[in-house]
Structure 1
Amino acid sequence: MSYSGEHTGAPETVWRAAMGQTLPIALGYVPVGMAYGVLAGKAGLGALNVLAMSLLVYAGSAQLVAVGLFAAGASGLSIVITTLAVNLRHVLFSAAMAPLLSGWRKRELAAFSFELTDESFALHAARFGRGDTDKARTLSINLLAQASWVLGTALGVIVGDALGDGRAFALDFALPGMFVALLAGQLKGLSHVAAALAGAAFSLVAALHGASGFGTLAAGLAGAACGTAVAAWTDR
């Protein structure tokens, strides 16, 4: 299979390749999306609003945070500010991806950015690193990933009454489990390991002190700095 920044193959070939690469993400998104659908329904949101959030917002952890705040009676402004803080890590994503997407048109960048998540970012970073920059495949992966999240949300809405509290089934464990699998495939040297460990340590400290939003951004920067420092030291 040839790799380039343009479409390289028949549509069915592109979709098959995209489905194969998206499958690990989908296996995590469906159960976590179900957990979100169940919890959002229990918080008092109507089915259409629950689905609309997955279609228009599409930010897994931020959606779960927003639902929790809504259930607690928080104001709309506080929900917006909190979810903004939770999603600040996308600043790091954009800094990492921008050089790789320099030839894309603005409407393509908008479509890519709207559907970019933590998991798809990790997948694309690994793909681009090995030269797989096919534009059609990239956008197809994002679309399939969101479709799996929306499917999980719909299932959660449908079976919410039967499941009760979705957390009792540990559906939310699928997301960190998927992150571990994605991370393991990218640890290719001492600097990568150092960045992962430092980022994890800073993130845990931030979470313990109630700063999970801004703390995640700081942990990402600290991990990147640590990895860079280790790479510079080993290259001497």
Structure 2
Amino acid sequence: MQEIPCAASGRQPVWPTALARTWPIALGYVPVGMAYGVLAGKAGLGALNVLAMSLLVYAGSSQLVAVGLFSAGASGLSIVATTLAVNLRHLLFSAAMAPLLRGWRKRELAAFAFGLTDESFALHAARFGRGDRDKGLTLAINVAAQAAWVAGTALGVALGDILGDGRAFALDFALPGMFLALLAGQLTGRSHVAAAVAGAALSLGAASCGFSGFGTLGAGLCGAALGLGVERWTNARQPS
């Protein structure tokens, strides 16, 4: 498949290029955003509050967890603490991206960090690895991805009575399925495969023991460490 020229080359304007790069993410965000909108509406949140959460929080798994806790009558403090634990993996994203964003101003970094999700991280990591680090395109991709999420949320609010809880349409599988597809494109060597397999296995093990937040963070760190070890071992075996 032919690569879309990056906006920095001048052959493609920023927004059409961003939309072309983002459509695989949008295919996952719209249905899962619909599922969130349906569940949030059934939990008793008003339409404006449901949309405001997608605009101001913009964290799919945390939003779904927060809705479940709200529906169960949990306190505000427990909702904040739980969603914070769920999103601890963003510390790993930040550590991976920080060396690639040197020279960005603080407000640009803040805008980028707000729009960074699991899926956009995978997309940006692949782009940056190819040398495509155009700042305008990077931010435009984040905006386009969030627009898809908000659009899905709005559809879920509007069609809540028709969709039920969304499970009959497999809406709850769209997001992890799409993320796995993005991840598969980055498994280009033994170290990547080792990190992905180890991180996934440890994360699943931690989740089964009830440690989904800190467990995911620890699993990611262990997977990255194993991947680094495999890469160094592979390089050491190559003839000089």
For each residue in 1:26-70, what CA deviation from the matched residue of structure 2 results, as whole angstroms up to 9, or x when unmatched? 000000000000000011100000000000000000000000000
Q: Tell me the residue number matched to 2:208.
A: 208
Cα distance per residue 1:94-124 (max 9 Å; x no partner) = 1110111111111111111111101000100
SS in 2 for 1:228: helix
Inter-partner Cα distance in structure 1 for 2:170 and 2:213: 23
Q: Deviations over 1:56-91 (max 9, x none)?
A: 000000000000000111100000000000011111
Give the aligned partner of residue 193 of structure 2.
193
Render the CA deviation track for 1:116-135: whole Å, top value 9, x for unaligned.
10100010000000000011
Q: Output the amino acid matched with 2:101.
A: L
Deviation at 1:161, TM superposition (A): 1.0
Q: How does 1:8-23 map to 2 (within 5 A)?
A: 9=10, 13-23=13-23
SS state at 1:88 partner: coil
2:39/2:165 contact within 8 Å kept: yes
| Shift in Å, 1:8 | 5.0
- Residue by residue, what CA displacement relative to the aligned partner does 1:111-166 show, whole Å, maximum 9, x if unpaired? 11111101000100000000000111100000000000000000000000111111
Alignment of 1:114 with 2:114, yes or no, is: yes
Q: How far apart, in 1, do the equivalents of 2:170 and 2:200 lie?
A: 22
**Residues 1:133 and 2:136 are matched in the alignment:** no
3-state SS in 2 of match to 1:235: helix
Shift of 1:199: 0.4
Partner of 2:235: 235
The whole-number CA distance in structure 1 between the counterparts of 2:56 and 2:166 is 23
Q: Contact 1:19 / 1:144 at 8 angstroms: preserved in 2? A: yes
Q: Report deviation, 1:171.
A: 0.2
Q: After TM superposition, where is structure 1 displaced by more than 6 Å over at least 4 residues in a row?
A: none
Distance across 2 between alignment mates of 1:163 and 1:28: 17
How far apart in 2 are the matches of 1:183 and 1:94?
Answer: 17
For residues 93 and 233 of structure 2, what CA distance do their matches in structure 1 show? 25
C-alpha displacement at 1:170, in angstroms? 1.3
From the superposition, tell whether residues 8 and 110 of structure 1 become closer, same or farther in structure 2 (CA, over 3 Å).
Answer: farther
Amino acid at match of 1:176: P
Give the distance between the partners of 2:189 and 2:70, measured in 1 at CA: 43
Unpaired segments ≥5 residues, structure 2: none
Counterpart of 1:172 in structure 2: which amino acid? D
TM-score for both structures, normalised by structure 2: 0.94
Indicate the RMSD between aligned Cα atoms, in angstroms. 1.4
* One-letter identity of the residue aligned with 2:105: R
Structure 1: runs of 5+ lacking an equivalent: none
CA positional deviation for 1:168: 2.5
Aligned residues: 233
Task: Provide the TM-score with structure 1 as the length reference.
Answer: 0.96
Percentage of pairs with the same residue? 78
| Letter in structure 1 aligned against 2:124 | H
